[in-house]
A and B are shown apart, each in its own frame.
Chain A
Amino acid sequence: MKHEPVHQGRLKSPFYSRLERLDTVNEWHQWKGYSSADQLYCSDTEYFAIRNATGVFDLTPMTKYRITGPDALDYLNRLVTRDMAKIRPGRVAYAVWCDDNGQVIDDGTIFHLREGEYRLCSQERHFAWLKAAAIGFDVTITHETDDVAALAVQGPTSYSVLSKMNLEGLEELKPFGLMHFDFQGSELMISRTGFTGDLGYELWIDPDKAEALWDALFEAGELHGIRAIGTTALEMARIEAGYLAAYEEFLPADETVRTGVSRSPLELGLDWLVDFKKPNFNGRRALAEEKRNGSTWRLVKLDIEGNKEAHHSYIFSNAKARGGNIGFVTSAVWSPVCKQNIALGTVKTPHGKPGDTVWVEIYYQREMHWNRKMAKATVVDKPFWFPPRRGATPPGPY
């Protein structure tokens, strides 16, 4: 019997040939088995492409599952905390799913592609959990990460770029909506979703058409400042938008060993995603109890004085660090577009209410020597970057 050779080493996305052509720095990391670029030329330039023009990010390694079958809706409603009955075909839902203890396993987006046909996308892989959740349901779950090539096309000129690609009706597409188009005989799905908090789209297509789509996109975007971007730039935009990332703001609950290190949706500021009107969903009992008794942790967005990035800093309730720390920073960045020193963090309740002042202990190196600074920080309510154009339909031309 002949065996196919086992693939070793990193997978190359169907867009790899195009990324490789643009790459000048050869800085890659591994994302779920795929090579994914940290940056292609300069992460700062790439960042400004997102905020001022259009950044194109290869989303292919993003985990994708197709969920179909007569019980698909019941299945998803039991899986995630929000009410999926409200998500009609052609709509996308940001959702979070928990274990029985109400601890977050991951967050992601669920695309209602067609009546009763869904795609669930997340950063991490969850096949075992999704299969366990399918026991007793008439659903089929297909892992389709490798079967769908995907690009994030994000930034103020993203609509202008796409509008040159003969996509009829795209101007009507609202945030968290999706549409199907024809692209050279293949189906091109476009959703108005993204990870940057700005106007932006995600494009989903058959891997065979990936290169052709890339070429068409970059041809259309030539006069609109289109640029390929890597993860470093995207991460900056992600923090500005106040979005969560697994392994940053929370650990997938099924990966944790110790108790108390995972987070519930209530502790991540996702109360609005938890619909207690649903009679049953994973974690409901535990979350209802947490709601009654109060949460231990709270996610905070911090506006920090100065310009020293507060990576991994402890957070205190006072400048003298009396009483021990109340939490720590999970993601931090100097935001070029906001001109603010920003961070996401996790603090113990009752600390961290919007408007509260906390203190962040920042260590930074200057010519090898370490310095320590207690920086004052304000807990803010809104995302740092939330431009009106993000929600405008039809989007304006830039």
Chain B
Amino acid sequence: MTDKYDAIVVGAGHNGLVCSALLAKAGKNVLVLEANDQVGGAAVTREFADGYSVSACAHLLYQLQPEVRKELRLSPKLATEDMTTIALAEDGQHLRIKGDKVKGVSDDDARQYRRFRKRMTRFADLLRTYFNKPPPRLGTKNFKDLLTLAQLGFDIRRLGKEEMQEFLRLIGMNIHDEVTERFDSPLLKGAISLDAVLGTHLGPRSPNTIMTYLYRQAGDHGRASAPQGGMGAISDELAQAARAAGVTIRTSMPVKRIVVDNGRVSGVETESGETFSSYTVISNADPKRTVMNLVGAKHVETGFGRRIHHLRARGNAAKLHLALDGLPSIKGLDKKDFGQRIVIAGDEHYVERAFNPAKYGEFSPHPVVEMTFPSFRDESLAPTGKHVMSAVVQYAPYGLKEGWDDAAKEAFKQAVITTIARYAPDIEQRITASELLTPADIESEFHITGGHWHHAELTLDQFLFVRPVNGAAQYKLPIDGLFLCGAGAHPGGGVSGAAGRNAARTILRREKAL
């Protein structure tokens, strides 16, 4: 039996859901096929220990785009909004950072931070305007592309001479040089460095980490929130919006291949052998999986296949989930602080040193940590009086030299817990259950090649006009009817919905043009 649809979306990640909902709202008959038994991709809430639930991969909401909220009429319930970042100090003299204010540093540093944030916010806003439109093609005479390019040039110029020079100077630079030039406080330098490298295979001294910092700010000026019910609540709301618009969503339906007939897409075939036909297939999967596994190399040309093959997407961030029988005690922290975002990034060297072993396929013995206690404001996640901790920990390279066997996972988990215990000495006694997801686990559970939450490293050579690669940067792959709508496409990862929305708009606009 073959069902026919106007469009089929492979993968019900948040971008797939956004894309399908927008297509359906435009009158399309859309089918979404999801491999896992719940929607959301890497934005899901699931139980990891009896009675304890957590956002399994992404755990904070940074950048859900207002355009997406508006068009799909989303109003996510937030447990915590606009969190303060607390950078832990061993002596209890922690830093508190919120917006352009930082407490716990010298007046000089505080002033510098305000100036730094002002500039970064300005640059981030510039980037954000381009997040919500397909990037222009290079080397084309297409009027719209040329116009967007000219607009980009104009927008950069409009920053003013000095700021334009700063923008062009900073965009390819590393965050380490910038923070050491500006600030004295080691904790502040560490916290900013962590923000720049979270989720990437980059250290603070790697080029283009200012760009990744800006990327994080571009969503919503870096404001982080935690949805009520975890990230899965966002996905559920998106799925609801999609269904309301008429989208058919089928879970536990892993797609085996995207069928290409005579150079154009004709549908998909699932692992279970069912086929669904459509002349438009949109892949929410990462570019490598889409082209190499789902489509097959023989359907694309050599140069393009080679670029996709060499896409850099080695995940380096792991997730640690702890079930706790009570909140740990951290010197210098009030109870209410557990509702905030707490980071361990001693200083800028600490972060770089954590990255060092990752270059050689080893995990950090002293990892950097971004932790939250989502149950603190959200009782649905843990039994009364108990708590969960959700932490992004790095570096845990996807290609660990020894391989991620149980022993390696246990050793890394212990390294993280030991690191946290330096600030929260009683944490170990409080743990009743735990779960570590390495990039290898993220790959197998969420079907992301390399377990990289951006699908493809967020670097200038894989950004904007060339994201994920030249020849596929406008959501359209070089096979008629095949599109990308996930984090691997412009602008990148994070629960923003921008890629899904841009993809839907690209598809609808093409139809209009035909």
List chain A positions with a Cβ less than 8 A from chain B: 71, 74-75, 78-79, 99-100, 129, 132-133, 135-137, 279-285
Contact = CB atoms under 8 A, between A and B. Distances in A.
A135 B299 contact: no
B301 A137 contact: no
B298 A132 contact: no
Nearest to A137: B297
A74 B263 CA distance: 15
Given A78-B298, A135-B305, A136-B309, 15 more contacts: A78-B297, A78-B301, A78-B302, A79-B302, A100-B301, A129-B302, A132-B302, A135-B302, A136-B292, A137-B297, A280-B263, A280-B299, A280-B301, A283-B301, A285-B301
* Number of chain B interface residues as a range: 10 to 19
B478 interface: yes
A243 B157 CA distance: 54
Contacts of A282: 301-303
A137 B306 CA distance: 12
Contacts of B292: 135-136
Given A280-B263, A284-B263, A136 B305 contact: yes
| Centre residue among A283, A284, A285 by max chain B CB count within 10 A | A285
Q: Which 4 A-B pairs have the closest CB atoms?
A: A136-B297, A100-B303, A133-B302, A132-B306
* Chain A, interface SS category: loop
A99 B298 contact: no
Contacts of A281: 301
Contacts of A279: 260-263, 299
Contact of B478 (A75, A129, A132, A285): A285
Interface in B297-355: 297-306, 309
A121 B60 CA distance: 57
Interface string B169-186: 000000000000000000
Given A279-B262, A284-B263, A99 B302 contact: yes
B304 A74 contact: no
| Centre residue among B297, B299, B301, B306 by max chain A CB count within 10 A | B301
A135 B309 contact: yes
| Centre residue among B260, B300, B471, B478 by max chain A CB count within 10 A | B300
B296 interface: yes
Contacts of A284: 263, 301
Given A279-B262, A280-B263, A136 B298 contact: yes
11 contacts: A78-B301, A79-B302, A100-B302, A132-B305, A135-B302, A136-B309, A279-B260, A279-B263, A280-B263, A282-B302, A284-B263
| Centre residue among B299, B302, B471, B478 by max chain A CB count within 10 A | B302
Contacts of B305: 132-133, 135-136
B285 to A, nearest CB: 16
Given A279-B262, A279-B263, A135 B306 contact: yes
Interface in B345-390: none
Nearest to B480: A285
Interface string B259-289: 0111100000000000000000000000000
Nearest to A101: B303
Contacts of A136: 292, 296-298, 305, 309
Nearest to B470: A100
A280 B298 contact: yes
Contacts of B261: 279
A279 B298 CA distance: 10
Given A279-B262, A279-B263, A280-B263, A100 B297 contact: no
Contacts of B306: 132, 135
A280 B300 contact: yes
